[in-house]
Amino acid sequence: MKQKQSEGLIDVRNKKLGKVGPKCKEYSEEFLLSIPLRLRTTKRSYAGALKISHVTIHRPKKKGLLRTHTSTNHPKLTDNHKIERLRWVLSHLTPATETEDPMCEQSRRFKVKAMFMAMIAKPQHNTNGEMIHDDKYEIFGFVYEQRVKKSSKNIPAGTMEIKALQSVTKDVIKDMLINKVIPCIIENWPAHLSKDIFIQWDNARPHKIPTDPEFVAACTQNGFNIKMVYQPPQSPDLNVLDLGLFIVMQSIQYQSFPKNVEELVKVVEEAYNTFDPISNKFTWITLQSCMTEILKMMEDNNFTPTHMKKRSLEKQGILPERLTFSPELVAQAMNHLNDKFRLVN
């Protein structure tokens, strides 16, 4: 008040000397190790179990009390694998105009195991940026029901029990596609989108695309034109399931210990249902980032995707939906690919 009355400059400097404010709370090694390993698979789950902020985990990590471990193994690529990866990325670029750059579209013993087929697509937003479709469709397990023949301490005879299919053949895959996957896509497909649909398919041996009339009829019903394309071999970095959904699901599923296939199915379905649509949106941008790195590395996979701070950009409303590529980078990749073909021929 006296400074205001003097009509001079107001001194707002703090008169306290040294560091002031609350001191950082120290956490003992016993406290940090009190959480079982299964709840330490991610920083957020670890902080949630300790009942502290996930940001607070950074302090003991910076002091060396905690150490993160991330697997950096990459699939081994042959020359043919490298060529296919580069061709795949180039095929997903939209042509550039005079004023724009090219853009990208978007030990296990004794464990309870089962195979699943999951479906996600790129989330849809309106002109105001509001999500109108999360593009999470469904996840199906390759399981069946069987009546228990003999009683045990866990289940009486005659009870229906869920079992995992031990052999997922191409006939099983075809049945799953015709009776579950394709009907689910047709039922939930946004009406404003084109009915020309491409399903990205990996190169597992049972995953042979059926060509019989029954399958073709299922893919072309109600005006739809559903086609399947193979992703490059040995390329989990070009699959949105491996880049996002499976990582999130594993971090949730690893925190539980299912005793049978039925419990495993429930845990996996719960993990799929809790997969955040915003994380799904970020995953598609990560996919484009991986494509950028493949062009820079000339088809190799020894890279780490650039950290874009997507969540921060999303809050500011400036997160790009599609990443751009410089014409020079695209031309360099195409010349490299042409040189590869000249050497082969």
Confidence check: pLDDT of 267 > 60 = yes
> How far is 330 from 327, CA to CA, in rounded Å?
5
State pLDDT tens for residues 140-159.
988 888 888 888 777 788 88
> How far is 40 from 19, CA to CA, in rounded Å?
33
> How far is 136 from 234, CA to CA, in rounded Å?
25
The pLDDT > 70 percentage for the chain reads: 85
Domain(s) labelled CATH 3.30.420 in the chain stretch across 79-344
Task: Identify the band that residue 122 occupies on the pLDDT scale cut at 50, 70 and 90.
Answer: confident
State pLDDT tens for residues 284-315.
888 988 888 888 887 678 887 778 888 888 88
8-35 in b/e burial notation, b at 16+ Cβ within 10 A? Answer: eeeeeeeeeeeeeeeeeeebeeeeeeee
The pLDDT > 90 percentage for the chain reads: 8
pTM given for the model: 0.70
CATH class for the region spanning 79-344: alpha beta
Average pLDDT, the chain: 81
Can you give the pLDDT at residue 234? Answer: 85
State pLDDT tens for residues 186-226.
999 988 888 999 888 877 766 777 888 999 999 999 999 99
Integer angstrom CA distances of residue 66 from 33, 39, 53, 129: 10, 14, 15, 39
Can you give the pLDDT at residue 196? Answer: 92
Confidence check: pLDDT of 15 > 50 = yes
HEC profile of 238-304: HCHHHHHHHHHHHHHHCCCCCCCHHHHHHHHHHHHHCCCHHHHHHHHHHHHHHHHHHHHHCCCCCCC
Q: What is the DSSP string of 99-159?
A: SS--EE----TT-----EEEEE---EE-TTS-EEE--EEEEEE-EEEEE--S--SSS-TT-
Can you give the pLDDT at residue 98? Answer: 60
Can you give the pLDDT at residue 108? Answer: 41
